[in-house]
């Protein structure tokens, strides 16, 4: 028996004794005790309902949070899948571009000189025609030689025109010009009184450049200092 129950019984006994002294019937006191017990039980029942309602409310709240988290995870998975698909498409596109670029670069390397070679074919044809002339025949007189020289001259002009179209320039220094190591290659030195030291006195071979870049320097002889005799 709990202390509250003992206190209640003690109070009940005191009330009964007081009632007896006042001439009150005991059964009225029993009704009062019964009423108090019923009220306490009702209060406990209400508290139990309130506790269960609170638990149910917490469960519903947790359930709502769980659904929201599930939806959020599904959205994140969808975004990840979309980004992955975009990445794969972009990667495939880059790979295709790289392959096309490789093919184009290969074709450029193979056929970069196509136009230049086509132009040179006409020059080769002209040289072959000049080579096929039979100088041993009776017709190989002065006129034939003159025609051959004229043909060679025209062939050289054809070649010069091809060079001009492809930005190929001659490097032809003038006599008396100072030696330029960037454009000229000295093949030797000659003692001459007509030129000063380190001046070009003779051109052995022309040089050429392509779009301003030196392909071959001009080969020259330069004058040396004149020694006193």
Dump the DSSP string for 107-172.
HHHHHTTHHHHHHHHHHHHHHHHHHT--TTSTT-SHHHHHHHHHHHHHHHHHHHHHHHHTTEEEE-
Task: State yes or no: pLDDT of 31 exceeds 60.
Answer: no
What pLDDT, in 10s, does the model give residues 80-114? 999 999 999 999 999 999 999 999 988 887 777 77
Tell me which residue has tokens 């040089």: 207
Supply the pLDDT for residue 25.
47
The confidence band for 138, taking pLDDT boundaries of 50, 70 and 90, is low
The answer to whether the CB of 185 falls within 8 A of the CB of 219 is: yes
Q: What pLDDT, in 10s, does the model give residues 157-199? A: 888 898 898 889 999 999 999 999 999 999 999 988 888 889 9
Average pLDDT over residues 42-52: 61
Highest mean pLDDT among 74-78, 128-132, 225-229: 74-78
Q: Give pLDDT tens digits for 53-88.
A: 655 655 555 556 677 778 888 889 999 999 999 999
Mean pLDDT, residues 2-26 taken together: 48
> Highest mean pLDDT range out of 52-56, 128-132, 219-223?
219-223
SS3 178: strand
% of the chain surpassing 70 pLDDT = 66
């Amino acid at each position: 028996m709990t202390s509250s129950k003992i206190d209640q019984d003690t109070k009940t006994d005191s009330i009964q004794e007081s009632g007896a002294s006042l001439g009150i019937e005991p059964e009225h006191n029993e009704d009062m005790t019964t009423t108090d017990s019923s009220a306490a039980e009702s209060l406990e029942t209400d508290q139990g309902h309130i506790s269960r309602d609170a638990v149910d409310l917490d469960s519903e709240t947790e359930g709502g949070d769980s659904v929201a988290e599930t939806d959020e995870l599904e959205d994140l998975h969808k975004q990840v899948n979309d980004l992955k698909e975009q990445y794969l498409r972009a990667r495939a596109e880059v790979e295709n571009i790289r392959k096309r670029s490789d093919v184009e670069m290969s074709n450029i390397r193979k056929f970069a000189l196509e136009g230049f070679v086509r132009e040179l074919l006409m020059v080769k044809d002209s040289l072959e025609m000049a080579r096929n002339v039979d100088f041993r025949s009776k017709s190989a007189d002065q006129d034939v030689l003159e025609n051959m020289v004229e043909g060679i001259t025209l062939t050289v002009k054809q070649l010069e025109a091809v060079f001009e179209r492809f930005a190929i320039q001659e490097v032809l220094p003038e006599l008396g010009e100072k030696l330029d190591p960037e454009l000229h290659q000295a093949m030797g030195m000659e003692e001459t009184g007509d030129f000063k030291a380190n001046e070009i006195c003779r051109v052995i071979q022309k040089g050429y450049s392509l779009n301003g870049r030196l392909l071959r320097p001009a080969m020259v002889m330069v004058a040396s200092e004149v020694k006193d005799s």
